[in-house]
Amino acid sequence: MTVVDVVQVSAAWAPLGAALLLVMAAAAAALDGAVAARAEGRPWQQGLGTPWAETARLLRQRRRTTVAADRLLWRIAVAGLLVTALLKVLVIPLGGWTLADLSVGLVWFNAMDVVVWALVWLAGWGPNSAHSLVGGYRFLGQALSYELPLMFALTAPAVAAASLRPADIVAAQSELWFVVWMPVAFGVFVAAVLGFSFWGPLGTPAGTDIAGGVLAETSGIDRWLVLAGRWALLTAGAAFGVTLFLGGGAGPLLPGWLWVLAKTGLLLAALVLLRRRVPALRPDRIAATAWLVVLPLVLLQVLVVSVVVLGRG
């Protein structure tokens, strides 16, 4: 396997990157629709159209308003999720190209997923509705659980590659993918992806038990933006997981960019299929496990990685 040097392409390619992200997000949503249709006993092909039907429905829907809503903050939050997902994929190398060759790309990704904290809480606060606000608080509650393990999980590949630059981290995996010797960090990362996309088992901030939580009062284009933002965050998380742990564009025969997309698609599909296998996890219950079990484990992982790196010299 050869290590491809990553070049930064001009900003004019950004719309293509955004389009790729949205296409993958839509594909994930279609897969989820198909799985849902099958679970309901309908033929799974019927579910493939779910994202498009939902888009068509939401784009024609009238906007719902609530009394004394903080409209400015609400709009920022609703639009911000998708923007944050786009900002996350900026630093991901797609084979030989990247939109922003940031020397601290890893920290940038982390900073962007902290921005999600603010946005989801604001999405809960904005409409001045109790259910939404409960959803916002639930998100911050679970964020406190997943964020610190996530930070240390991100540290492990950075230590092994001796760099915070995503391209260097990909290059450092040319011999052995990091997932092989950092399984704990990979697992924590995947869990955190579910966490910051508030989706699947960690989707209680938008849970049906609180009438949709942060989604409760959204309608029309607002709801579409939040849902698309969630799928895009999940996709961006999967793509970054591929970069950090699954060797990025490394693979036989096919060009690097196609491998990145293929691996991202596989990881994303696994996450989508996981959703119906795992029960929803209450934010207050996962806190103790996250801090008392997961955090020490991931610290141990970082220690192992550090020792291996030192041992290699």
Partner 1 sequence: MTGDIVFWVLAALAVAAGVAVFSVNSMARATYALAISFVAVGLTLLLFDLQFLGVITVLMMVMEMAIMAIYMIMFMGMNPALMPMSMKHGKGAAMTIAVGTFLVLAAGALFVPWPARRGTPAPDLTVALGEAIMESKMLVMMTVSPVLFATIVAALVLAAPSGRYDRLGDDLRRRSAPARQPEGADR
Binding site for partner 1 (CB under 8 A): 68, 70, 72-73, 102-104, 107-108, 110-111, 114-115, 117-118, 121-122, 125, 128, 137, 140, 143, 147, 164, 288-289, 292-293
Q: Which is nearer to partner 1, 25 or 158 (CB)?
A: 158
Q: How far is the CB of 26 from partner 1 (least distance, A)?
A: 29
Q: How far is the CB of 111 from partner 1 (least distance, A)?
A: 4
| Planar angle of CA 304, 4, 82, nearest 5 degrees | 75
Q: How far is the CB of 76 from partner 1 (least distance, A)?
A: 8
CB 251 within 8 A of CB 2: no
Q: Which is nearer to partner 1, 123 or 271 (CB)?
A: 123
Which helix H or strand E contains 8, and what residues bound it? strand 7-8
> Can you tell me the distance from the alpha carbon of 63 to that of 113, in angstroms, rounded to the nearest whole number?
28
Structure-token pair, residue 204: 């209680």
User: What count of Cα atoms within 13 Å lies in the side-chain half-sphere of residue 248?
Assistant: 30
Q: Which is nearer to partner 1, 197 or 264 (CB)?
A: 197
Q: Which is nearer to partner 1, 124 or 249 (CB)?
A: 124
Q: How far is the CB of 139 from partner 1 (least distance, A)?
A: 9
Q: How far is the CB of 241 from partner 1 (least distance, A)?
A: 19
Q: Which is nearer to partner 1, 114 or 221 (CB)?
A: 114
Q: Which is nearer to partner 1, 278 or 293 (CB)?
A: 293
Q: How far is the CB of 55 from partner 1 (least distance, A)?
A: 30
Q: Which is nearer to partner 1, 54 or 70 (CB)?
A: 70
Q: How far is the CB of 28 from partner 1 (least distance, A)?
A: 27
Helix (H, G, I), strand (E, B) or coil at 224: helix
